[in-house]
Amino acid sequence: MKNASHKIGIGFVFMVLSIQFAKSPLPPPYYRFYASGHMKGDSLTDRENFAVQLFGLNDEYYPLYKPLSGMYNEAERPVALTDSNGYFFIMVNNPYFCDSLKVGIVQP
């Protein structure tokens, strides 16, 4: 009986020591953000060719709004130009989740 309990104990210790708590070698999943809209203004007659970019805020990693420049994979559009009616569409991949997003006009 004592021999069997030793075998079970050794097997249990071997099983516990063989469990690995390592991180995956794959990169972390990224978040995809879509933004679309149009320019509005009281005195804007020409709403064409404004450069628009998406800004993100994440309190854990950066406390200020930072431009989301993308990860440069797939068909990203981190900076968009407005069409003749002022409409735009932005698609950005980012490795961090953003608590808040805003769209801003930037100089190209």
Closest CA to 92 of 41, 39, 33, 50: 33
Structurally, how many domains does the chain consist of? Answer: 1
Q: Give domain status of residue 7, yes or no.
A: no
- In contact, 35 and 55? CB cutoff 8 Å: no
Each residue of 5-44: pLDDT tens digit? 777 777 776 666 666 666 667 676 788 889 999 888 777 6
Candidates 68, 71, 75, 76; CA nearest to 106 is: 68
Q: Which amino acid is at 65?
A: Y
In degrees to the nearest 10, what's the CA dihedral of 64, 29, 90, 61?
0
User: Which helix H or strand E contains 4, and what residues bound it?
Assistant: helix 2-18
Reported as a single tens digit per residue, the pLDDT across 55-93 is: 999 888 778 899 888 877 777 888 899 998 889 999 998
Instruction: Give domain status of residue 65, yes or no.
Output: yes
> 10 lies in a domain?
no
Name the pTM for this structure: 0.65
Q: Which domain holds residue 58?
A: 26-106
| 21 domain residue, yes or no | no
Instruction: Look at residue 59 and tell me if it is in a domain.
Output: yes
Asked if the structure places residue 80 within a domain, the reply is yes
Report yes or no on 18 lying in a domain: no
